[in-house]
Copies of this chain bind each other. A is one copy, B any other.
Amino acid sequence: MATRTYGQYCGLARAAEILGERWGLLIVRDLLVAPKRFTDLQRGLPGIPTSVLAARLKELEGAGVVQRRVLPRPERSIVYELTAYGRELEDVLVRFGRWGAKSLGDPRADEIITADSMVVALRSTFRSEAAQGVRATFELRLGEIVLNARVAGGEVEVRTGPAPAADLSIEAGPQLRALMAGEITPREALRKGVVRLSGDRDLLASFAKIFRIDPMPVAPS
């Protein structure tokens, strides 16, 4: 049995072989947001060795998840993007991220937030039921990171970058999770300085309902 394989004829085992290697899931996460160059990926994945990134990209390309594309002149640079097969992971990864978010406490000092991770996090926590009848554009700012979410028709589109015409712009601190988990109310978040707003301040309550982190289920069996 070759290393890194499981020797089982099983769809889940195959999926684990393709994406179970270190950094693999996070590479796909970042490519779900947008195609990227090698260096962009490196920047979004602090700590990844270049050799590992190169190896993963080759493996993912071999598995039909990622494809390498040379941009037309004058750029001639190389971008990595998901194939159709790779894009089918969006739903799975969004659900997986929603599950994992329940295990998030408050951020530790050494934990960072990246723009791409935050985009996927907002897609993960989005609740279509809570968004029914809501039509609004949010801008979210966390330090250097800026992203926008357009909610309409019970769907959401989340992208990196500012939204100049946002209905509500939220400048948030690291405690944003507590608001999304319902551990503090929008009013408390404002009072404690967890968020600072500009725009239609009433929309903060909608935001907290639409982008929601569930609690971990109670302990036993």
Q: Which residues of A contact B (CB under 8 A)?
A: 1, 6-16, 18, 20, 22-23, 25-26, 29, 46-47, 63-64, 67, 69, 81, 83-85, 88-89, 91-93, 95-104, 107-108, 110-114, 117-118, 120-121, 124, 174, 213, 216-221
Of the listed residues A23, A69, A93, A118, the one surrounded by the most CB atoms of chain B closer than 10 A to its CB is A93
| A11 proximity list for chain B (CB < 8 A) | 97-104, 121, 124, 213
The CA-CA distance from A95 to B110 in the complex, in Å, is 33
| A111 proximity list for chain B (CB < 8 A) | 7-9
Q: Which B residue's beta carbon lies closest to that of A91?
A: B95
B12 and A26 within 8 A (CB): yes
A106 to chain B, nearest CB (A): 9
The CA-CA distance from A218 to B86 in the complex, in Å, is 11
A93 and B12 within 8 A (CB): yes
Taking a contact as CB atoms closer than 8 A, the residue among B9, B96, B221 that contacts A12 in the complex is B96
Of the listed residues A6, A10, A98, the one surrounded by the most CB atoms of chain B closer than 10 A to its CB is A10
Q: Which B residue's beta carbon lies closest to that of A81?
A: B221
B84 and A218 within 8 A (CB): yes
| A121 proximity list for chain B (CB < 8 A) | 10-12
| A23 proximity list for chain B (CB < 8 A) | 6
The CA-CA distance from A6 to B107 in the complex, in Å, is 13
A7 and B110 within 8 A (CB): yes
Given contacts A9-B111, A218-B84, contact A99 B89 (CB under 8 A): yes
B85 and A102 within 8 A (CB): yes
A43 to chain B, nearest CB (A): 13
The CA-CA distance from A117 to B9 in the complex, in Å, is 8
Given contacts A1-B110, A7-B112, A83-B221, 17 further A-B contacts (CB under 8 A): A6-B23, A7-B110, A8-B46, A8-B111, A8-B117, A9-B117, A10-B100, A10-B120, A11-B97, A11-B101, A12-B25, A12-B93, A13-B100, A64-B103, A64-B216, A84-B219, A88-B99
